[in-house]
Amino acid sequence: MMRHNKSDVAVATISIPDRICELLRCFYTLGWCTASGGGISILSSDRSIAYVAPSGVQKERVQPTDIFALDAACAAPHSDMPLPSNPVLKMSECTPLFAEAYRFALPAPGAVLHSHALEVLMCTRLFQREFRSSEGLEMVKGLPGFSNEDEVVLPIVENTPVESELVGRVRAAILAYPQAHAVLVRNHGCYIWGTTWEKATTTAEALHYIFEATERLRASRALHSGPARTLLSIPHAHG
Ligand SMILES: [Zn+2]
């Protein structure tokens, strides 16, 4: 069975646990969820159930019966839903961070993902407190509400030894940057959200592209900063 979104291609209707497994395999292939890191949470359409992947497992091998169904606050397993079939599994370490995005980000997210991609990590080393990109990239249109002439500004917070200890920093960053679709964590990765899982993943694809393009452009400018400059200097709205 297929359903049609207003502005999207037909998408096969599958359960949210099935969708999470499908997306985790994609994210693994993209390098976002390797070495058991990263993850995703999706809310049910009535926002009463938050589905999250288990912690510390190979994300590309997660099965639908491994997915946790939590209450809307991501605080405990949903009372009306079964626990994962494997009793050894634990909820994702990212769960409290997903909860922060659900609670404080606007417009209210329907899905939040966590990426450990190398291009994210590199940006957290190239920038101090904020990632900034104003290269006039067409891909910026992939961010809801943005045109290609807009500057992309995202907060970067410092990492902690335990992922759940990031809660206060991530919350403060979300509240301080209400236009942002993501929070970056130094030497670690990022949290990205969207009003639906489709918006969250397309936003994530656009941001990963922007991260890599920004890094390459900076590296190319540094390499060719002398008279033998080969990178075209393209004028754009934000200099
Ligand atoms: Zn992580």
Which amino acid is residue 36, in one-letter code? S
Known active-site residue 138: yes
Query: Ligand 1 centroid vs 203 CA: distance in angstroms?
Result: 18
Question: Which residue of the set 138, 149, 158, 165 is catalytic?
Answer: 138
Residue 230: pLDDT over 70? no
What CA–CA distance (Å, rounded) separates 186 from 122?
9
Most confident of 3-7, 8-12, 181-185: 181-185
Which amino acid is residue 71, in one-letter code? D
Please, are residues 23 and 40 in contact by the beta-carbon 8 Å criterion? yes
Please, are residues 28 and 60 in contact by the beta-carbon 8 Å criterion? yes
Residue 1: pLDDT over 50? no
Query: Ligand 1 centroid vs 39 CA: distance in angstroms?
Result: 8
Nearest alpha-carbon partner for 132 in 152, 149, 118, 156: 152
- Please compute Rg for the chain using Cα positions: 18
What proportion of the chain, given as a percentage, has pLDDT over 70? 89
Candidate from 12-21, 108-117, 157-166, 228-237 with smallest mean pLDDT: 228-237
Better-predicted residue by pLDDT, 173 or 56? 173
Instruction: Say how many CA atoms lie within 13 Å of 102 toward its Cβ.
Output: 29
What CA–CA distance (Å, rounded) separates 10 from 18?
17
Residue 102: pLDDT over 90? yes
Query: Ligand 1 centroid vs 68 CA: distance in angstroms?
Result: 18
Query: Ligand 1 centroid vs 56 CA: distance in angstroms?
Result: 10
First to last CA, the chain: 48
Residue 27: pLDDT over 60? yes
Residue 140: pLDDT over 60? yes
Residue 210: pLDDT over 90? yes
Return all residues near 212 (Cβ < 8 A) that are at least 6 apart. Answer: 119
Q: How many CB atoms lie within 10 A of CB 202?
A: 16
Q: Is the peptide bond before 107 cis (omega within 30 degrees of 0)?
A: yes
Residue 239: pLDDT over 50? no
Q: What is the mean pLDDT of the chain?
A: 90
Residue 54: pLDDT over 80? yes
Report pLDDT digits (tens) over 184-205: 999 999 999 999 999 999 999 9
Stated pTM of the model: 0.89
